[in-house]
Structure 1
Amino acid sequence: MKKSGYRSILHIYLMLFLAVFIVIVFAGFLILSIITVHAPANSFARSDYPMEFTREFGEQIIFIDDIPGIKQSGLELLQSNQAGIQILNDSGQEVAGYQKPQNAKDFYSDAELLKICQTGHSGDSQTTLFIGTITHNGKDYTYIIYFPLNISKITMYLNGDRFTAGKSIILWCISTVFFIILISGFIYGFWITKTINRMSVSIKNIAGRSYVPISNNGVFNDVFESLNDLDMEIRASDNLKEQTEKMRKDWIANITHDLKTPLSPIKGYAEVLSEQDITSGEKVKRYSNVILKNVSYIESLIDDLKLTYQLENGMFPVKREEQNFVGFLRELVIDILNNPEYENRIIHFDSAREDIMFSFDRKLLTRAFQNLIVNAFVHGSEDTEVTIQISVMGNIMEVIVSDNGNGMSPYETSHLFQRYYRGTNTEKKTAGTGLGLAITKSIIEAQGGNIIVESEIGVGTDFRICFPVT
């Protein structure tokens, strides 16, 4: 066993013995409070001291001409203990008394005396009575001493064959209990140490990515379940990190490729213009247009990267303006269809209302919705159609941009808005930065909205965008 195991057992024993010590001390105080009373002389005494006092008080009773009386020393004892006394003859009639309670009787029957002897009380629970007897000239006298204390008499009936020596039985019981506690503490300490070591090993295995989930239905079930959950979360985080790193590398490779692609013709035509003696203005113009086109493409890539960074860090100024959102989308659709590249495409437009006033940045939302619509055409077939639906329910405006294109798998939709992701379910390889939809999502969220995607392969894709309106 390791040193930490021994230390754990030692700590457990110390805690166990401390708990036992506290219990013993508490039990001692409890027993002491039961077997002691606060005597009238402002001192503590055993609860049975009135019985001893009563038995010995017979020596303080004297007879003068066969009439019982109390010595001066006896009177002083009664006064110091605030006690009273009655002396009865053999018929139960009082023949002498001192400081007796007001409710004390002058005559007691044998049954009443027997009850007092058994219970110690006669009506008043705050006064306890003890009985003693003396004999003078062949006559029996009974005396009752009244103590201003509430003392209960308890009688126990035990097995006479077994209870021969009370002290030895008590010692035997204490020894047995102590031995059981000792063995139980050792077993419990060993079990706790083993469990703690098991937890320690599990934590090391989690750190080393070699942890095997543990099933435990005992006291530490919650701890092991937490360790299992922690391992699952760490593994999921590792997988996400690997996927993100892979997408980052793929994105860097794509960006590098996309930057090199326009740089090659720029460099090539620039070398032609610088090295060859070209006098034809038509060639110069054609070469210059190719260079400008590729420079524009590089600028768009750089602008996308810059916009992504600004949106993610809240650095892009959003210029909101109250305007008709339905009219804005209609104009955007017309602009896209006026583009020669998409003039033969079909966009369906459906709005329940003609005027929906909304405060938004026209430039940013143009970029966002243009991305959604153009992506549907670029990644779909030539027959792909786009439908735009606008509706208002309460203070929420919902815009649905849907298409009947190829659709996407659940894996693709779950990664669609990530910065470096490019979809795979397309009929052709499209050039791009993989930032378009990530930018779209950031723009919509910057306007206070949210966007979700639903797609089915072979059916199409729906983008649902919601904005709060007043």
Structure 2
Amino acid sequence: MKKSGYCTIFHIYLIFFLSLLGTVITAASLFYLLITVKTPAGINTRSDWPKTITENFKEYIVLTDGNPQILPEGLELLQENEIGLQIIDHSGNEQFSCQKPDQAHPSYSAPELFKLYQTGTLNGSKTTAFVGTVTDNGNDYAYILYFPMTISKITMYLNGDRFTDGKTIVFFILGMLFSVILISGLIYGFWTTHIMNRLTISIREISSRNYLPVHVNGAYKDLYLSLNTLDSEIKESDRLREQTETMRKEWIANITHDLKTPLSPIKGYAELLQEDGIKTEEQRKQYSQVILKNVSFMESLIHDLKLTYQLDNGMIPLNLQEQNFIRFLKELVIELLNNPEYEQRTIGFESSVETFLFTFDPVLLTRVFQNIILNSFVHGDENTAVTLQISVSDTMLLINVSDNGMGMSEEETHSIFQRYYRGTNTEPKSGGMGLGLAIAKSITELHGGIITVSSTPLIGTSFHIQFPIG
């Protein structure tokens, strides 16, 4: 067993020991309060003090021809402790009294005197009576001492063969209690240490990715369930990290290729422009257009990188403007179709309203819808058509951008908005770096919106965008 295990056992045993010690101290304090009483003189003494005083008080009583007298020492004792006295003859009549309570009777019958002897209580009085007897010339006299305190009289009958000394049984009980606490503390300590060792091993296995889920019942069920959940979340995080790392490496390779591709014609046509053989202005213009086209492509790639960095770090300001959102989308579609590269394409437009004022950044949202629409054209064929559907509810502006292209698998739809992801069916003609839809998602969320995608292979893909109204 390791040092930590022994420390755990020691701590648990210490807790048990301190609990036992506290229990014993509490029990001893309660027992002390039960067996002690404070006299009127302010002295703490045993609860049987009235009984002892009563048994010894006969020494202070002197009977002369049937007339009781109290010695001065006895009277002093009564006065110091505020004890009342009443002496009764064999007929039950009072012969002498001193400081007796108002509730005391002037005479007692034998049953009344016996009841007083047993209970010691007087109706309506907080005093306790103790009865003793004294004999003179064959005549019995009873004397009653009234103590200004409440004492409960309890009689117990014990086995004399076994209970010879109260200390023996007390020590025996305490010894048994200590033994039980000690043994149970050690057992619980070893059991808890075993559980802690299992948990330690489980945590170590989770950190080394070798953990196997454990299903247990009992006090530690929730803890093991938490470890199982932690293990599954860590493994999922590892999977996503590996996937992201793979995508990042592929992206680095792709961006290297994408940046190198336009550099080759730029360099080649620049070298041609330097040659003396090029005479005509038309050739120079043609070569310059090729160079500018590739430079524009490189600028677009660099702009995507810059925009991604700004969106991730919250560095891009929103230039919010209130405009007719329906007109904004119509103009965006017209501008795309006026581009010679896409003039033969089809973009349908459907809206439930003609006018809808909405506050947004037109530059950024232009980028969102251009990325989505052009993504459909790039990954589809020449017959791929796109349809925009706009509807407005009480709380939401809903835009659906769908196409009839090749569609995507479920795995692809889960990764489509991740940076650097370019899809499994992407061809070199895409020319992108896998940032377009990631940028679209970030801009949509920057406007408080939500973008999701649904797709069916060989049927088509739909992007669903929601913006809250107000």
TM-score (norm 1): 0.94
Query: Does 2:80 correspond to 1:90?
Result: no
Q: Select between 135-144 and 420-429 the one with higher mean Cα deviation.
A: 420-429
In structure 2, the residue matched to 1:115 is: 115
Instruction: Determine helix, strand or coil for the equivalent of 1:68.
Output: strand
Question: Which residue identity lines up with residue 444 of structure 1 in the other structure?
Answer: T
Q: Select between 350-359 and 211-220 the one with higher mean Cα deviation.
A: 211-220
In 2, are the aligned partners of 1:380 and 1:426 still within 8 Å (CA)?
A: no
Question: Which residue identity lines up with residue 238 of structure 2 in the other structure?
Answer: D
In structure 2, the residue matched to 1:420 is: 420
Q: 2 CA distance for matches of 1:187 and 1:329?
A: 75
In structure 2, the residue matched to 1:187 is: 187
In structure 2, the residue matched to 1:212 is: 212
Instruction: Determine helix, strand or coil for the equivalent of 1:258.
Output: helix
Q: Report the alpha carbon displacement of residue 131 of structure 1 after superposing the two structures with TM.
A: 0.9
In 2, are the aligned partners of 1:406 and 1:425 still within 8 Å (CA)?
A: no
1:331-373 deviation digits (Å, cap 9, x = unpaired): 1122222333333333332222211111111111111111112
Q: Report the alpha carbon displacement of residue 276 of structure 1 after superposing the two structures with TM.
A: 5.6
Question: Equivalences for 1:274-353 in 2 at 5 Å?
Answer: 274-275=274-275, 277-353=277-353
Q: CA, structure 1 residues 116+408, in 2 after alignment: closer, same or farther (shift >3 Å)?
A: farther
In 2, are the aligned partners of 1:350 and 1:388 still within 8 Å (CA)?
A: yes
Query: Does 2:135 correspond to 1:135?
Result: yes
Q: Select between 77-86 and 188-197 the one with higher mean Cα deviation.
A: 188-197
Q: Report the alpha carbon displacement of residue 138 of structure 1 after superposing the two structures with TM.
A: 1.0
Q: 2 CA distance for matches of 1:410 and 1:144?
A: 102
In 1, are the aligned partners of 2:251 and 2:420 still within 8 Å (CA)?
A: yes
In structure 2, the residue matched to 1:30 is: 30
In 1, are the aligned partners of 2:20 and 2:178 still within 8 Å (CA)?
A: no
Q: Report the alpha carbon displacement of residue 135 of structure 1 after superposing the two structures with TM.
A: 0.9
Query: Does 2:71 correspond to 1:76?
Result: no
Instruction: Determine helix, strand or coil for the equivalent of 2:391.
Output: strand
In structure 1, the residue matched to 2:10 is: 10
In 2, are the aligned partners of 1:251 and 1:433 still within 8 Å (CA)?
A: yes
Structure 2: gaps (5+ residues) = none
Instruction: Determine helix, strand or coil for the equivalent of 2:411.
Output: helix
Question: Which residue identity lines up with residue 104 of structure 1 in the other structure?
Answer: A
Q: Select between 438-447 and 209-218 the one with higher mean Cα deviation.
A: 209-218
In 2, are the aligned partners of 1:125 and 1:150 still within 8 Å (CA)?
A: no
Q: Report the alpha carbon displacement of residue 162 of structure 1 after superposing the two structures with TM.
A: 4.1
In structure 2, the residue matched to 1:386 is: 386
Structure 1: gaps (5+ residues) = none
Q: Select between 128-137 and 56-65 the one with higher mean Cα deviation.
A: 56-65
Question: Which residue identity lines up with residue 216 of structure 1 in the other structure?
Answer: V
In structure 2, the residue matched to 1:225 is: 225
In structure 1, the residue matched to 2:465 is: 465
Q: CA, structure 1 residues 397+403, in 2 after alignment: closer, same or farther (shift >3 Å)?
A: same
In 2, are the aligned partners of 1:390 and 1:400 still within 8 Å (CA)?
A: yes
RMSD: 2.1
In structure 2, the residue matched to 1:100 is: 100
Q: 1 CA distance for matches of 2:87 and 2:407?
A: 113
Q: 1 CA distance for matches of 2:3 and 2:395?
A: 67
In 1, are the aligned partners of 2:378 and 2:429 still within 8 Å (CA)?
A: no
Q: 2 CA distance for matches of 1:109 and 1:385?
A: 121
In 2, are the aligned partners of 1:381 and 1:427 still within 8 Å (CA)?
A: no
Q: Select between 11-20 and 355-364 the one with higher mean Cα deviation.
A: 11-20
Q: Select between 1-10 and 160-169 the one with higher mean Cα deviation.
A: 160-169
In structure 1, the residue matched to 2:403 is: 403
In structure 2, the residue matched to 1:367 is: 367
1:93-135 deviation digits (Å, cap 9, x = unpaired): 2221111111111122222222222222122462211111111
Question: Which residue identity lines up with residue 32 of structure 1 in the other structure?
Answer: Y
Q: 1 CA distance for matches of 2:86 and 2:284?
A: 143
Q: Report the alpha carbon displacement of residue 159 of structure 1 after superposing the two structures with TM.
A: 4.2
In 2, are the aligned partners of 1:85 and 1:145 still within 8 Å (CA)?
A: yes
Percent identical across equivalent pairs?
A: 57
Q: Tell me the number of residue pairs that the alignment of Structure 1 and Structure 2 aligns.
A: 470
Q: CA, structure 1 residues 95+351, in 2 after alignment: closer, same or farther (shift >3 Å)?
A: same
